[in-house]
Amino acid sequence: TTPTNTTHLKITTPIGLISPRFYGHFAEHLARCCYDGLWVGPSSSIPNTRGWRNDLVSALQQMPVPMIRWPGGCYADHYHWRDGIGQRTPRLGISCGTRVTDTNELGTHEFMDLCELLQSEAYLAGNMASGSVQEMCDWLEYTSGTADTTVTRERQKNGRKDPWDVKLWGVGNESWDCGGRYDAKTYAAEFKRYGVMMKHVDPSVELVAVGNDEVAAARADHMETFWNEIFMEHIQDHIDLIDHLSVHTYWIDGGAETGFSEENYYTLLAEADTTEEAIVRAKRTIDKYVRGRKNIKVAMDEYGVWHPETRPWGPGPHDDSRPNNFEQANTLRDALSVGIALEGFHRQANILGLANLAQIVNVLQSVAMTEGEKMFLTPTYHALKLHEHHIGATSCHVEVQTDRVFKMPRVTATASQKDGNTNLTLINRHISEESQIMLYDLPETLLSAQLLSGPAPDATNTYDQPERISLQPLDVYKEDNTWKLTLPPHSMATLRFSR
Ligand code: AHR
Protein backbone atom coordinates (compact mmCIF):
# COMPACT_ATOMS: atom_id res chain seq x y z
CA THR A 1 0.00 0.00 0.00
CA THR A 2 1.07 3.58 -0.73
CA PRO A 3 1.63 5.82 2.26
CA THR A 4 -0.64 8.87 2.05
CA ASN A 5 2.30 11.23 1.82
CA THR A 6 3.34 9.74 -1.55
CA THR A 7 2.21 11.47 -4.72
CA HIS A 8 2.44 9.89 -8.20
CA LEU A 9 2.69 12.13 -11.25
CA LYS A 10 2.65 11.68 -14.99
CA ILE A 11 2.66 14.32 -17.73
CA THR A 12 -0.02 13.60 -20.34
CA THR A 13 -1.50 15.61 -23.25
CA PRO A 14 -0.58 19.09 -24.52
CA ILE A 15 -2.93 22.02 -23.85
CA GLY A 16 -1.65 25.20 -25.50
CA LEU A 17 1.02 27.89 -25.67
CA ILE A 18 2.00 29.56 -22.40
CA SER A 19 2.04 33.10 -23.73
CA PRO A 20 4.66 35.47 -22.32
CA ARG A 21 1.68 37.72 -21.65
CA PHE A 22 0.58 35.36 -18.81
CA TYR A 23 3.65 36.55 -16.92
CA GLY A 24 2.80 40.26 -17.05
CA HIS A 25 3.27 42.76 -14.25
CA PHE A 26 1.47 45.87 -13.15
CA ALA A 27 3.12 49.20 -12.32
CA GLU A 28 0.68 51.83 -11.07
CA HIS A 29 1.38 55.38 -9.95
CA LEU A 30 0.34 54.30 -6.48
CA ALA A 31 2.27 54.68 -3.23
CA ARG A 32 5.94 53.74 -3.93
CA CYS A 33 5.47 51.41 -6.86
CA CYS A 34 6.58 53.78 -9.61
CA TYR A 35 7.98 56.93 -7.94
CA ASP A 36 10.55 55.98 -5.29
CA GLY A 37 10.24 52.35 -6.34
CA LEU A 38 11.11 51.55 -9.91
CA TRP A 39 11.79 55.20 -10.68
CA VAL A 40 14.27 57.22 -8.65
CA GLY A 41 14.97 59.86 -11.30
CA PRO A 42 18.18 60.52 -13.25
CA SER A 43 19.63 62.86 -10.61
CA SER A 44 19.23 60.34 -7.74
CA SER A 45 22.30 59.16 -5.81
CA ILE A 46 20.89 55.64 -6.18
CA PRO A 47 22.60 54.13 -9.24
CA ASN A 48 20.15 54.32 -12.11
CA THR A 49 19.77 54.16 -15.85
CA ARG A 50 17.98 57.26 -17.08
CA GLY A 51 15.99 57.28 -13.80
CA TRP A 52 15.28 53.53 -13.39
CA ARG A 53 17.12 52.02 -10.45
CA ASN A 54 19.82 49.64 -11.63
CA ASP A 55 19.59 46.93 -8.93
CA LEU A 56 15.89 46.51 -9.65
CA VAL A 57 16.28 46.61 -13.43
CA SER A 58 18.92 43.92 -13.32
CA ALA A 59 16.82 41.69 -10.99
CA LEU A 60 13.79 42.14 -13.24
CA GLN A 61 15.81 41.40 -16.36
CA GLN A 62 16.64 38.03 -14.83
CA MET A 63 13.09 37.10 -13.74
CA PRO A 64 11.90 37.94 -16.58
CA VAL A 65 9.12 40.55 -17.12
CA PRO A 66 7.53 39.97 -20.54
CA MET A 67 4.79 42.62 -20.23
CA ILE A 68 3.89 45.59 -17.99
CA ARG A 69 0.55 47.33 -17.53
CA TRP A 70 0.83 51.05 -16.73
CA PRO A 71 -0.07 53.66 -15.34
CA GLY A 72 -3.05 52.19 -13.40
CA GLY A 73 -5.33 50.83 -11.98
CA CYS A 74 -7.66 53.43 -10.62
CA TYR A 75 -4.97 55.99 -11.42
CA ALA A 76 -5.49 55.39 -15.16
CA ASP A 77 -8.89 57.09 -15.15
CA HIS A 78 -7.32 60.26 -13.74
CA TYR A 79 -4.24 60.21 -15.98
CA HIS A 80 -3.76 62.65 -18.83
CA TRP A 81 -0.83 61.43 -20.86
CA ARG A 82 0.07 64.88 -22.20
CA ASP A 83 1.05 65.91 -18.64
CA GLY A 84 3.89 63.39 -18.93
CA ILE A 85 5.56 64.46 -22.21
CA GLY A 86 7.66 67.52 -23.05
CA GLN A 87 7.25 70.18 -20.36
CA ARG A 88 5.88 68.24 -17.36
CA THR A 89 2.74 69.28 -15.53
CA PRO A 90 2.42 68.41 -11.83
CA ARG A 91 -1.07 67.06 -11.09
CA LEU A 92 -3.01 65.52 -8.29
CA GLY A 93 -2.16 61.82 -8.47
CA ILE A 94 -5.22 59.90 -7.33
CA SER A 95 -5.72 56.19 -6.74
CA CYS A 96 -7.26 53.94 -4.10
CA GLY A 97 -7.96 56.74 -1.63
CA THR A 98 -4.52 58.36 -1.96
CA ARG A 99 -3.94 61.89 -3.23
CA VAL A 100 -0.38 63.05 -3.88
CA THR A 101 1.47 65.43 -6.16
CA ASP A 102 2.44 63.56 -9.28
CA THR A 103 5.29 65.46 -10.93
CA ASN A 104 4.74 63.56 -14.17
CA GLU A 105 8.50 63.26 -14.42
CA LEU A 106 7.77 59.66 -15.30
CA GLY A 107 5.71 59.75 -18.49
CA THR A 108 5.24 57.83 -21.72
CA HIS A 109 8.85 58.13 -22.96
CA GLU A 110 10.27 57.01 -19.62
CA PHE A 111 7.85 54.08 -19.30
CA MET A 112 8.62 52.93 -22.82
CA ASP A 113 12.32 53.18 -21.98
CA LEU A 114 11.74 50.81 -19.04
CA CYS A 115 9.95 48.40 -21.36
CA GLU A 116 12.96 48.47 -23.67
CA LEU A 117 15.36 47.93 -20.75
CA LEU A 118 13.36 44.91 -19.57
CA GLN A 119 12.37 43.72 -23.06
CA SER A 120 8.75 43.93 -21.97
CA GLU A 121 5.67 44.52 -24.04
CA ALA A 122 3.81 47.69 -22.98
CA TYR A 123 0.15 47.52 -22.01
CA LEU A 124 -1.26 51.03 -21.64
CA ALA A 125 -4.40 51.57 -19.58
CA GLY A 126 -6.36 54.44 -21.14
CA ASN A 127 -8.44 57.01 -19.30
CA MET A 128 -12.13 56.64 -20.06
CA ALA A 129 -13.78 58.22 -17.01
CA SER A 130 -12.08 61.65 -17.01
CA GLY A 131 -10.49 61.57 -20.46
CA SER A 132 -11.93 61.62 -23.94
CA VAL A 133 -12.02 59.49 -27.06
CA GLN A 134 -9.75 62.02 -28.80
CA GLU A 135 -7.24 61.96 -25.93
CA MET A 136 -6.95 58.17 -26.06
CA CYS A 137 -6.73 58.16 -29.88
CA ASP A 138 -3.98 60.79 -29.72
CA TRP A 139 -2.03 58.70 -27.20
CA LEU A 140 -2.28 55.75 -29.58
CA GLU A 141 -1.14 57.89 -32.50
CA TYR A 142 1.69 59.36 -30.42
CA THR A 143 3.02 55.93 -29.44
CA SER A 144 2.31 54.00 -32.63
CA GLY A 145 1.62 56.40 -35.50
CA THR A 146 3.76 56.28 -38.64
CA ALA A 147 2.13 59.05 -40.71
CA ASP A 148 3.69 62.52 -40.64
CA THR A 149 1.27 64.46 -38.40
CA THR A 150 1.41 67.09 -35.66
CA VAL A 151 1.12 64.31 -33.09
CA THR A 152 3.93 62.12 -34.44
CA ARG A 153 6.11 65.20 -34.99
CA GLU A 154 5.61 66.01 -31.33
CA ARG A 155 6.88 62.54 -30.42
CA GLN A 156 9.92 63.10 -32.60
CA LYS A 157 10.51 66.54 -31.09
CA ASN A 158 10.45 64.84 -27.66
CA GLY A 159 13.26 62.51 -28.69
CA ARG A 160 11.65 59.44 -30.19
CA LYS A 161 11.84 59.07 -33.96
CA ASP A 162 10.34 55.61 -34.49
CA PRO A 163 6.97 54.57 -33.10
CA TRP A 164 6.93 52.08 -30.24
CA ASP A 165 3.96 50.27 -31.76
CA VAL A 166 1.93 49.57 -28.61
CA LYS A 167 -0.65 46.87 -29.24
CA LEU A 168 -2.40 46.40 -25.87
CA TRP A 169 -4.81 49.15 -24.75
CA GLY A 170 -7.18 49.12 -21.82
CA VAL A 171 -10.36 51.14 -22.24
CA GLY A 172 -10.88 52.35 -18.67
CA ASN A 173 -10.22 50.43 -15.47
CA GLU A 174 -12.76 48.91 -13.07
CA SER A 175 -15.37 51.12 -14.69
CA TRP A 176 -17.98 49.56 -12.39
CA ASP A 177 -16.28 51.25 -9.41
CA CYS A 178 -13.28 53.65 -9.25
CA GLY A 179 -13.35 54.08 -13.03
CA GLY A 180 -16.67 55.95 -13.07
CA ARG A 181 -19.32 53.65 -11.51
CA TYR A 182 -20.81 52.98 -14.92
CA ASP A 183 -23.53 50.42 -15.34
CA ALA A 184 -22.64 47.68 -17.82
CA LYS A 185 -25.02 48.89 -20.52
CA THR A 186 -23.66 52.45 -20.45
CA TYR A 187 -20.09 51.14 -20.38
CA ALA A 188 -20.85 49.03 -23.48
CA ALA A 189 -22.09 52.15 -25.29
CA GLU A 190 -18.97 54.09 -24.25
CA PHE A 191 -16.69 51.18 -25.15
CA LYS A 192 -18.14 51.15 -28.67
CA ARG A 193 -17.27 54.83 -29.17
CA TYR A 194 -13.72 54.34 -27.93
CA GLY A 195 -13.32 51.02 -29.72
CA VAL A 196 -14.43 52.25 -33.14
CA MET A 197 -12.22 55.32 -32.99
CA MET A 198 -9.15 53.53 -31.61
CA LYS A 199 -9.40 50.85 -34.30
CA HIS A 200 -9.77 53.57 -36.96
CA VAL A 201 -6.44 55.03 -35.81
CA ASP A 202 -4.76 51.62 -35.74
CA PRO A 203 -6.76 48.51 -36.73
CA SER A 204 -4.04 46.26 -35.29
CA VAL A 205 -4.52 47.31 -31.65
CA GLU A 206 -5.90 44.82 -29.13
CA LEU A 207 -8.49 46.40 -26.89
CA VAL A 208 -9.15 45.23 -23.35
CA ALA A 209 -12.69 45.93 -22.17
CA VAL A 210 -13.51 46.17 -18.49
CA GLY A 211 -15.21 43.08 -17.14
CA ASN A 212 -15.97 41.96 -13.64
CA ASP A 213 -16.27 38.65 -11.89
CA GLU A 214 -19.78 37.96 -10.64
CA VAL A 215 -18.57 36.22 -7.50
CA ALA A 216 -16.30 39.15 -6.55
CA ALA A 217 -19.04 41.66 -7.44
CA ALA A 218 -21.61 39.87 -5.30
CA ARG A 219 -19.41 40.55 -2.27
CA ALA A 220 -19.54 44.32 -2.79
CA ASP A 221 -23.02 45.79 -2.54
CA HIS A 222 -22.53 48.76 -4.90
CA MET A 223 -21.52 46.72 -7.93
CA GLU A 224 -23.65 45.27 -10.69
CA THR A 225 -23.41 41.50 -10.22
CA PHE A 226 -23.98 40.42 -13.83
CA TRP A 227 -21.73 42.99 -15.47
CA ASN A 228 -20.11 40.56 -17.95
CA GLU A 229 -23.47 39.17 -18.98
CA ILE A 230 -24.99 42.61 -19.62
CA PHE A 231 -21.85 44.02 -21.24
CA MET A 232 -21.51 41.05 -23.60
CA GLU A 233 -25.20 41.19 -24.48
CA HIS A 234 -24.77 44.81 -25.59
CA ILE A 235 -21.47 44.31 -27.38
CA GLN A 236 -22.32 41.03 -29.14
CA ASP A 237 -22.94 42.71 -32.49
CA HIS A 238 -19.65 44.66 -32.27
CA ILE A 239 -17.18 41.94 -31.41
CA ASP A 240 -14.71 43.30 -33.96
CA LEU A 241 -13.96 45.99 -31.35
CA ILE A 242 -13.12 43.81 -28.39
CA ASP A 243 -10.13 41.47 -28.02
CA HIS A 244 -9.94 40.80 -24.27
CA LEU A 245 -12.35 41.05 -21.36
CA SER A 246 -10.70 41.99 -18.10
CA VAL A 247 -11.25 40.34 -14.72
CA HIS A 248 -9.50 41.29 -11.46
CA THR A 249 -9.01 38.73 -8.71
CA TYR A 250 -7.56 39.65 -5.34
CA TRP A 251 -7.22 37.00 -2.63
CA ILE A 252 -8.51 38.57 0.54
CA ASP A 253 -9.62 35.74 2.81
CA GLY A 254 -6.33 34.49 4.25
CA GLY A 255 -6.44 36.37 7.56
CA ALA A 256 -3.36 38.20 8.81
CA GLU A 257 -0.40 38.54 6.45
CA THR A 258 1.91 36.84 8.97
CA GLY A 259 1.17 34.81 12.10
CA PHE A 260 -1.90 33.29 10.42
CA SER A 261 -3.62 30.09 11.52
CA GLU A 262 -3.49 26.77 9.69
CA GLU A 263 -7.04 27.37 8.48
CA ASN A 264 -6.04 30.83 7.17
CA TYR A 265 -3.10 29.27 5.35
CA TYR A 266 -5.25 26.79 3.45
CA THR A 267 -8.03 29.32 2.87
CA LEU A 268 -5.64 31.61 0.99
CA LEU A 269 -4.36 28.74 -1.16
CA ALA A 270 -7.95 27.71 -1.90
CA GLU A 271 -8.72 31.29 -2.89
CA ALA A 272 -5.75 31.31 -5.27
CA ASP A 273 -7.34 28.23 -6.92
CA THR A 274 -10.48 30.27 -7.65
CA THR A 275 -8.49 32.53 -10.01
CA GLU A 276 -8.79 29.82 -12.64
CA GLU A 277 -12.54 29.53 -11.98
CA ALA A 278 -12.94 33.28 -12.57
CA ILE A 279 -11.18 32.93 -15.95
CA VAL A 280 -13.39 30.01 -16.95
CA ARG A 281 -16.57 31.81 -15.80
CA ALA A 282 -15.72 34.96 -17.77
CA LYS A 283 -14.93 32.94 -20.90
CA ARG A 284 -18.24 31.07 -20.59
CA THR A 285 -20.12 34.37 -20.60
CA ILE A 286 -18.05 35.69 -23.52
CA ASP A 287 -18.75 32.57 -25.57
CA LYS A 288 -22.46 32.60 -24.81
CA TYR A 289 -22.70 35.85 -26.81
CA VAL A 290 -19.81 35.44 -29.27
CA ARG A 291 -21.02 32.01 -30.44
CA GLY A 292 -17.74 30.89 -32.00
CA ARG A 293 -17.24 33.98 -34.15
CA LYS A 294 -14.00 35.12 -32.42
CA ASN A 295 -11.68 33.98 -29.64
CA ILE A 296 -12.09 36.92 -27.27
CA LYS A 297 -9.78 36.12 -24.39
CA VAL A 298 -9.83 36.79 -20.69
CA ALA A 299 -7.41 39.41 -19.35
CA MET A 300 -6.64 38.72 -15.68
CA ASP A 301 -4.98 42.12 -15.62
CA GLU A 302 -4.84 42.44 -11.84
CA TYR A 303 -4.39 39.50 -9.52
CA GLY A 304 -2.60 38.62 -6.33
CA VAL A 305 -2.94 38.72 -2.58
CA TRP A 306 -4.29 41.84 -0.88
CA HIS A 307 -3.93 41.37 2.85
CA PRO A 308 -6.40 42.96 5.30
CA GLU A 309 -3.71 45.11 6.93
CA THR A 310 -3.30 47.06 3.68
CA ARG A 311 -6.99 47.59 2.86
CA PRO A 312 -9.86 49.06 4.85
CA TRP A 313 -12.56 46.90 3.18
CA GLY A 314 -13.40 43.19 3.22
CA PRO A 315 -12.60 40.62 5.92
CA GLY A 316 -10.04 41.51 8.64
CA PRO A 317 -7.90 41.83 10.63
CA HIS A 318 -7.54 45.49 9.65
CA ASP A 319 -4.84 47.68 11.07
CA ASP A 320 -5.81 51.35 11.16
CA SER A 321 -2.46 52.34 12.61
CA ARG A 322 -0.62 51.33 9.47
CA PRO A 323 0.14 53.96 6.84
CA ASN A 324 -1.91 53.61 3.70
CA ASN A 325 1.11 52.53 1.64
CA PHE A 326 -0.02 49.11 0.36
CA GLU A 327 3.26 47.52 1.51
CA GLN A 328 2.87 43.87 2.49
CA ALA A 329 5.12 41.39 4.27
CA ASN A 330 5.23 39.11 1.17
CA THR A 331 5.59 35.67 2.67
CA LEU A 332 6.29 32.21 1.33
CA ARG A 333 2.52 31.52 1.53
CA ASP A 334 1.93 34.40 -0.90
CA ALA A 335 4.54 32.96 -3.26
CA LEU A 336 2.80 29.55 -3.19
CA SER A 337 -0.48 31.30 -4.02
CA VAL A 338 1.04 32.79 -7.17
CA GLY A 339 2.28 29.33 -8.13
CA ILE A 340 -1.27 28.04 -7.73
CA ALA A 341 -2.67 30.81 -9.94
CA LEU A 342 -0.03 30.04 -12.57
CA GLU A 343 -1.07 26.38 -12.61
CA GLY A 344 -4.56 27.61 -13.56
CA PHE A 345 -3.18 30.00 -16.20
CA HIS A 346 -1.28 27.14 -17.84
CA ARG A 347 -4.37 24.91 -17.80
CA GLN A 348 -6.43 27.70 -19.36
CA ALA A 349 -3.76 28.59 -21.92
CA ASN A 350 -6.30 28.58 -24.74
CA ILE A 351 -8.73 31.06 -23.19
CA LEU A 352 -6.46 33.34 -21.15
CA GLY A 353 -5.10 36.31 -23.08
CA LEU A 354 -2.88 37.93 -20.47
CA ALA A 355 -2.33 38.39 -16.75
CA ASN A 356 -0.71 41.04 -14.55
CA LEU A 357 0.43 40.42 -11.02
CA ALA A 358 -0.44 43.39 -8.77
CA GLN A 359 1.96 45.14 -8.33
CA ILE A 360 5.60 44.89 -9.33
CA VAL A 361 7.43 46.80 -6.55
CA ASN A 362 6.54 48.05 -3.04
CA VAL A 363 2.79 47.66 -3.54
CA LEU A 364 0.69 44.58 -2.69
CA GLN A 365 2.19 41.33 -4.01
CA SER A 366 5.50 42.79 -5.11
CA VAL A 367 8.50 40.91 -6.40
CA ALA A 368 10.87 43.39 -4.75
CA MET A 369 10.87 45.97 -1.96
CA THR A 370 13.06 49.07 -1.85
CA GLU A 371 14.02 51.58 0.81
CA GLY A 372 16.60 54.22 -0.11
CA GLU A 373 19.69 52.36 -1.33
CA LYS A 374 18.40 49.02 -0.06
CA MET A 375 16.43 46.41 -1.94
CA PHE A 376 15.39 42.82 -1.41
CA LEU A 377 13.60 40.26 -3.54
CA THR A 378 10.45 38.66 -2.14
CA PRO A 379 9.56 34.95 -2.21
CA THR A 380 7.16 35.84 -5.04
CA TYR A 381 10.16 36.91 -7.15
CA HIS A 382 11.67 33.46 -6.66
CA ALA A 383 8.36 31.73 -7.41
CA LEU A 384 8.23 33.53 -10.76
CA LYS A 385 11.86 32.80 -11.43
CA LEU A 386 11.04 29.10 -10.91
CA HIS A 387 8.55 29.40 -13.76
CA GLU A 388 10.74 31.16 -16.33
CA HIS A 389 11.21 28.13 -18.59
CA HIS A 390 7.46 27.61 -18.89
CA ILE A 391 7.18 30.94 -20.73
CA GLY A 392 6.74 30.29 -24.44
CA ALA A 393 6.45 26.52 -23.95
CA THR A 394 3.37 24.32 -24.48
CA SER A 395 1.50 23.53 -21.28
CA CYS A 396 0.57 19.90 -20.66
CA HIS A 397 -1.93 18.14 -18.47
CA VAL A 398 -0.45 16.37 -15.45
CA GLU A 399 -2.10 13.33 -13.92
CA VAL A 400 -1.60 13.60 -10.15
CA GLN A 401 -2.55 10.89 -7.67
CA THR A 402 -2.31 12.52 -4.29
CA ASP A 403 -3.93 12.69 -0.90
CA ARG A 404 -6.25 15.55 0.05
CA VAL A 405 -5.56 18.14 2.66
CA PHE A 406 -8.06 20.78 3.76
CA LYS A 407 -10.35 19.81 0.80
CA MET A 408 -7.61 20.37 -1.79
CA PRO A 409 -4.98 18.16 -3.40
CA ARG A 410 -1.94 17.81 -1.19
CA VAL A 411 0.42 18.19 -4.16
CA THR A 412 -0.37 20.03 -7.40
CA ALA A 413 1.70 20.48 -10.54
CA THR A 414 2.03 22.14 -13.91
CA ALA A 415 4.18 21.02 -16.83
CA SER A 416 5.31 22.33 -20.18
CA GLN A 417 7.40 21.23 -23.13
CA LYS A 418 9.54 23.11 -25.62
CA ASP A 419 12.34 22.13 -27.98
CA GLY A 420 12.63 18.65 -26.47
CA ASN A 421 12.83 19.97 -22.90
CA THR A 422 10.25 19.25 -20.22
CA ASN A 423 9.59 21.60 -17.30
CA LEU A 424 7.66 20.46 -14.25
CA THR A 425 6.70 22.68 -11.31
CA LEU A 426 5.34 21.06 -8.16
CA ILE A 427 3.74 22.53 -5.06
CA ASN A 428 3.54 20.70 -1.75
CA ARG A 429 0.61 22.51 -0.19
CA HIS A 430 0.78 20.64 3.12
CA ILE A 431 1.52 23.15 5.82
CA SER A 432 3.62 20.88 8.04
CA GLU A 433 4.40 17.57 6.32
CA GLU A 434 6.82 16.73 3.57
CA SER A 435 5.57 14.85 0.50
CA GLN A 436 7.30 12.01 -1.35
CA ILE A 437 7.04 12.40 -5.12
CA MET A 438 7.31 9.67 -7.79
CA LEU A 439 7.51 10.84 -11.40
CA TYR A 440 6.75 8.46 -14.27
CA ASP A 441 7.58 8.47 -17.99
CA LEU A 442 9.96 11.42 -17.79
CA PRO A 443 13.06 11.88 -19.98
CA GLU A 444 16.46 10.43 -19.09
CA THR A 445 18.41 13.62 -18.44
CA LEU A 446 17.70 15.88 -15.51
CA LEU A 447 18.94 19.39 -16.37
CA SER A 448 18.16 21.11 -13.08
CA ALA A 449 16.03 20.90 -9.94
CA GLN A 450 15.39 23.96 -7.78
CA LEU A 451 13.43 24.37 -4.59
CA LEU A 452 11.67 27.30 -2.94
CA SER A 453 10.99 26.56 0.72
CA GLY A 454 11.43 28.13 4.13
CA PRO A 455 11.26 27.50 7.85
CA ALA A 456 7.60 28.56 8.08
CA PRO A 457 4.85 29.50 5.63
CA ASP A 458 4.92 33.07 6.90
CA ALA A 459 8.68 33.39 6.43
CA THR A 460 9.73 36.49 4.52
CA ASN A 461 12.81 38.21 3.26
CA THR A 462 13.75 41.55 4.82
CA TYR A 463 16.37 44.25 4.32
CA ASP A 464 18.45 42.57 7.04
CA GLN A 465 17.88 39.04 5.81
CA PRO A 466 17.36 39.46 2.07
CA GLU A 467 18.10 35.84 1.18
CA ARG A 468 16.33 33.93 3.89
CA ILE A 469 13.97 32.62 1.23
CA SER A 470 15.70 31.93 -2.06
CA LEU A 471 16.10 29.11 -4.55
CA GLN A 472 18.09 26.08 -3.45
CA PRO A 473 19.21 22.94 -5.31
CA LEU A 474 16.89 19.98 -4.80
CA ASP A 475 17.91 16.36 -4.59
CA VAL A 476 16.22 14.21 -7.25
CA TYR A 477 17.26 10.63 -8.00
CA LYS A 478 16.27 7.77 -10.26
CA GLU A 479 15.28 4.34 -8.97
CA ASP A 480 13.44 1.54 -10.80
CA ASN A 481 12.97 3.80 -13.83
CA THR A 482 11.17 6.39 -11.70
CA TRP A 483 12.40 9.86 -10.71
CA LYS A 484 11.96 10.40 -6.97
CA LEU A 485 12.21 13.37 -4.64
CA THR A 486 10.97 14.74 -1.33
CA LEU A 487 9.26 18.10 -1.13
CA PRO A 488 9.45 19.89 2.23
CA PRO A 489 6.20 21.29 3.69
CA HIS A 490 4.81 24.51 2.07
CA SER A 491 7.28 24.40 -0.80
CA MET A 492 7.51 24.68 -4.57
CA ALA A 493 10.04 23.18 -6.97
CA THR A 494 10.85 23.13 -10.67
CA LEU A 495 12.54 20.21 -12.44
CA ARG A 496 13.83 20.44 -15.99
CA PHE A 497 14.52 17.43 -18.19
CA SER A 498 15.86 17.02 -21.68
CA ARG A 499 15.30 14.23 -24.15
O1 AHR B 1 -3.96 47.41 -7.44
C2 AHR B 1 -4.60 48.34 -6.63
C3 AHR B 1 -5.96 48.75 -7.16
O4 AHR B 1 -6.80 47.65 -7.15
C5 AHR B 1 -6.01 49.24 -8.58
O6 AHR B 1 -5.69 50.59 -8.70
C7 AHR B 1 -7.45 49.01 -8.95
O8 AHR B 1 -7.64 48.76 -10.31
C9 AHR B 1 -7.86 47.84 -8.07
O10 AHR B 1 -9.02 48.09 -7.38
How far apart, in whole angstroms, are the C-alpha atoms of residue 251 and residue 275? 9
* Helix residue spans in 306-442 (DSSP H): 332-347, 379-386
How far apart, in whole angstroms, are the C-alpha atoms of residue 220 and residue 230? 18
Ligand 1 site residues, Cβ closer than 6 angstroms:
28, 30, 72-74, 95-96, 173-174, 302, 358-359, 364
Minimum-distance ligand 1 atom for the alpha carbon of 174? 8
Residue nearest to atom 6 of ligand 1 (CA): 73
Tell me, in angstroms, the distance from the centre of ligand 1 to residue 74's CA.
6
Q: Residue 256: inside a domain, yes or no? A: yes
Please choose, from the candidates 135, 140, 138, 134, the residue with its C-alpha nearest in 3D space to the C-alpha of residue 122: 140
Please tell me whether residues 366 and 452 are part of one structural domain: no
Please tell me whether residues 173 and 303 are part of one structural domain: yes
Minimum-distance ligand 1 atom for the alpha carbon of 74? 6
CATH number at residue 432: 2.60.40.1180
**174 an active-site residue?**
yes
Please tell me whether residues 387 and 401 are part of one structural domain: no
Please tell me whether residues 40 and 97 are part of one structural domain: yes
Q: Residue 485: inside a domain, yes or no? A: yes
Tell me, in angstroms, the distance from the centre of ligand 1 to residue 474's CA.
37
Q: Report pLDDT for 220.
A: 83
CATH number at residue 253: 3.20.20.80
Please tell me whether residues 375 and 247 are part of one structural domain: yes
Please tell me whether residues 76 and 172 are part of one structural domain: yes
Please tell me whether residues 150 and 24 are part of one structural domain: yes
| Domain end (from 375, 391, 407) | 391
Minimum-distance ligand 1 atom for the alpha carbon of 28? 6
Q: Report pLDDT for 323.
A: 87
Please tell me whether residues 401 and 372 are part of one structural domain: no
Enumerate the β-bridge partners of residue 422.
Answer: 417, 497
In order of 443, 450, 490, the CA distances from 496 in angstroms are 9, 9, 21
Active-site annotation holder among 110, 121, 141, 174:
174
How far apart, in whole angstroms, are the C-alpha atoms of residue 267 and residue 264? 5
- How many structural domains is the chain composed of? 2
Count CB-CB contacts under 10 A for residue 319: 13
How far apart, in whole angstroms, are the C-alpha atoms of residue 392 and residue 140? 27
Residue nearest to atom 8 of ligand 1 (CA): 73
Residue nearest to atom 4 of ligand 1 (CA): 73
State which of 95, 100, 306 you would mutate to test the pocket of ligand 1, scoring each by most atoms of that ligand within 8 A of its C-beta. 95
Minimum-distance ligand 1 atom for the alpha carbon of 26? 1
Tell me, in angstroms, the distance from the centre of ligand 1 to residue 96's CA.
7
Minimum-distance ligand 1 atom for the alpha carbon of 95? 6
Active-site annotation holder among 28, 121, 257, 302:
302
Tell me, in angstroms, the distance from the centre of ligand 1 to residue 73's CA.
5
Residue nearest to atom 5 of ligand 1 (CA): 73
Reported as a single tens digit per residue, the pLDDT across 118-132 is 999 999 999 999 999
Tell me, in angstroms, the distance from the centre of ligand 1 to residue 299's CA.
15
Q: Residue 1: inside a domain, yes or no? A: no
Please tell me whether residues 88 and 195 are part of one structural domain: yes
Residue nearest to atom 3 of ligand 1 (CA): 73
State which of 100, 123, 178 you would mutate to test the pocket of ligand 1, scoring each by most atoms of that ligand within 8 A of its C-beta. 178
Walking along the chain (499 residues) 10 residues at a time, the average pLDDT comes out as 80 98 98 98 98 98 98 98 98 96 98 98 98 98 98 98 98 97 97 98 98 90 90 98 98 97 98 98 98 98 97 90 93 98 98 98 98 98 98 98 96 97 98 97 95 98 97 96 97 96
Minimum-distance ligand 1 atom for the alpha carbon of 30? 6
State which of 25, 174, 366 you would mutate to test the pocket of ligand 1, scoring each by most atoms of that ligand within 8 A of its C-beta. 174
| Domain end (from 370, 391, 412) | 391
State which of 78, 248, 325, 326 you would mutate to test the pocket of ligand 1, scoring each by most atoms of that ligand within 8 A of its C-beta. 248
Please tell me whether residues 386 and 445 are part of one structural domain: no
CB 139 within 8 A of CB 189: no
Reported as a single tens digit per residue, the pLDDT across 226-241 is 999 999 999 999 999 9
Tell me, in angstroms, the distance from the centre of ligand 1 to residue 315's CA.
17
Flag whether the pTM goes above 0.90: yes
**467 an active-site residue?**
no
Q: Report pLDDT for 1.
A: 46
| Domain end (from 373, 391, 409) | 391
Q: Residue 243: inside a domain, yes or no? A: yes
Tell me, in angstroms, the distance from the centre of ligand 1 to residue 12's CA.
38
Minimum-distance ligand 1 atom for the alpha carbon of 302? 1
The 3-class secondary structure across 199-239, one letter per residue, is HHHCCCCEEEEECCCHHHHHCCCCCCCCHHHHHHHHHCCCC
Tell me, in angstroms, the distance from the centre of ligand 1 to residue 453's CA.
29
CB 144 within 8 A of CB 163: yes
Q: Report pLDDT for 222.
A: 79
Give the residue numbers spanning the domain of 469.
6-11+396-498
Please tell me whether residues 476 and 409 are part of one structural domain: yes
Count CB-CB contacts under 10 A for residue 53: 24
Print burial letters for 94-113: b (CB count within 10 Å at least 16), e (below 16). Answer: bbbeeeeebbbebbbbbbbb
Please tell me whether residues 330 and 433 are part of one structural domain: no
Tell me, in angstroms, the distance from the centre of ligand 1 to residue 337's CA.
19
Residue nearest to atom 2 of ligand 1 (CA): 73
State which of 123, 173, 326 you would mutate to test the pocket of ligand 1, scoring each by most atoms of that ligand within 8 A of its C-beta. 173
Tell me, in angstroms, the distance from the centre of ligand 1 to residue 84's CA.
21
Minimum-distance ligand 1 atom for the alpha carbon of 75? 6
Residue nearest to atom 9 of ligand 1 (CA): 73
Reported as a single tens digit per residue, the pLDDT across 367-420 is 999 999 999 999 999 999 999 999 999 999 999 999 999 999 999 999 999 999
